Amino acid sequence: MLNPGGNIQLDGEGRLRHFLTTDGLDRRILIEILDHAESFAVVGDRPVKKVPLLRGKTIVNLFFEASTRTRTTFEIAAKRLSADVQSLSVNLSSTTKGESLRDTLQTMEAMHCDMFVIRHSGSGAAHFIARLVAPHVSIINGGDGRNAHPTQALLDMFTIRQHKPDFAALRVAIVGDITHSRVARSDIYALNTLGVREIRVVGPKTLIPAGIESLGVKVYTEMESGLRGVDVIIMLRLQRERMRSALLPSEQEYFRCYGLTEERLRLAREDVMVMHPGPINRGIEIDSRVADGERSVILQQVSNGIAIRMAVMALIAGAGRGRA
């Protein structure tokens, strides 16, 4: 019983087949991805940043929601693995011809594509697609609605482990719009699985979902108490669109209450790590001096994002070879 619960993300041997969410992935898999990423992190520093692991594989970025940044990281990761990459912006193509999602997928499968990276504004889209695809095809979730962004979560875990390898000792605060954040959700699952001491979510009451305590987190609506004594601060990007709705006051008001300033940073542990999935809104959720300061690991996160995506693709392709 290598995949006892019939987890859709694992194959019959218990190896990673799809990468959809950190929810329900056990510690062994998460650690395997992190360990694998170690070996790819050094590739970025070499003069020849390329390994032939995925030569002759075709990876398709199927983006139903625009995101140049995420698409670029997946493209670069795939190219450094020597894969062939196709990026399709789906709004602009087949759906305008009235082709159904299922037909689009089957068409790409028939072209012998090996892996799809899915980005979609609808929660659950990646799972939905993973259930549709043929046995030889793997799905990587590049972010679906409010649901999950598992490569972001894993690069966050990788970055934390680089600096503070003893997860059991850590207090982590996730700050911002928890309700709408797939990053928050995926980080919470991963942090719990890796056994951190304490997870806090910090933000205005209107942006914290009721009952989130059931995920094993503590809720703080006051920034100062939320940051006190933490080892890691994960700032979330504020979607400015929310400002226009009733959920949020003005940008200045938000920054006054929840912006990460140097003063507030002093409430955390001296060796606190400041993280952010990017792109940052300077002066809205984070002060520039903190974003660019010595506690910030934001750019390391970006570098590690390439290594994590290479690791996930390579592991999945390895599982695929096992199946074939």
- Number of other CB atoms surrounding residue 98 within 10 Å: 7
Burial status of residue 301 (CB atoms within 10 A of its CB: 0-12, 13-18, 19 or more): buried
Q: Which stretch binds a second copy (CB under 8 A): 49-57, 215-223, 224-232, 253-261?
A: 49-57
Name the residue nearer to a second copy (CB basis): 104 or 141: 104
- Catalytically annotated residue among 50, 69, 256, 266: 69
Question: Does the active-site annotation cover 70?
Answer: yes
Question: Does the active-site annotation cover 95?
Answer: no
- Catalytically annotated residue among 46, 97, 205, 244: 97
- List, in order, residues 6 or more apart from 17 with CB less than 8 Å away: 9, 10, 11, 138, 316, 319, 320, 323
Question: Does the active-site annotation cover 256?
Answer: no
Q: Which stretch binds a second copy (CB under 8 A): 23-31, 111-119, 146-154, 184-192?
A: 111-119
Helix or strand or coil: residue 40? helix
User: Which is nearest to 202 in space by CA: 164, 167, 230?
Assistant: 230
Say if residues 149 and 117 touch (Cβ distance below 8 Å). Answer: no
List Cα–Cα distances, 196 to 25, 26, 162, 168, 181, in angstroms: 16, 14, 15, 4, 20
The yes or no reply on residue 92 touching a second copy (CB under 8 A) is yes
Question: Does the active-site annotation cover 237?
Answer: no
2, 6, 97, 271: which one binds a second copy (CB under 8 A)? 97
The yes or no reply on residue 106 touching a second copy (CB under 8 A) is yes
Name the residue nearer to a second copy (CB basis): 50 or 197: 50
Which residues from 66-85 bind a second copy, rule CB under 8 A? 66, 68-69, 72-73, 75-76, 79-80, 84
Question: Does the active-site annotation cover 276?
Answer: no
- In whole angstroms, how close is the CB of 193 to a second copy at the nearest point? 26
- In whole angstroms, how close is the CB of 256 to a second copy at the nearest point? 19
Sheet strand arrangement including 138-144: 84-89, 58-63, 115-120, 138-144
Say if residues 115 and 310 touch (Cβ distance below 8 Å). Answer: no
- Catalytically annotated residue among 15, 18, 80, 119: 119
The yes or no reply on residue 123 touching a second copy (CB under 8 A) is no
- Catalytically annotated residue among 15, 17, 21, 70: 70
The yes or no reply on residue 243 touching a second copy (CB under 8 A) is no
H-type alpha helices, the chain = 27-41, 68-80, 101-110, 125-132, 150-163, 182-193, 223-227, 241-244, 251-258, 262-265, 288-291, 298-323
> Helices 298-323 and 68-80, interaxial angle, to 10°?
50
Which residues from 195-234 bind a second copy, rule CB under 8 A? none
Say if residues 178 and 208 touch (Cβ distance below 8 Å). Answer: yes
- Please give the radius of gyration of the chain, using alpha carbons only, rounded to the nearest integer: 20
- In whole angstroms, how close is the CB of 233 to a second copy at the nearest point? 19
- In whole angstroms, how close is the CB of 132 to a second copy at the nearest point? 13
Catalytic residue ranges? 69-70, 97, 119, 149
Where along the sequence are the contacts to a second copy (CB under 8 A)? 44-50, 55-58, 66, 68-69, 72-73, 75-76, 79-80, 84, 86, 88, 92-94, 97-100, 103-104, 106-113, 240, 278-282, 299-300, 302-303, 305-306, 321, 324
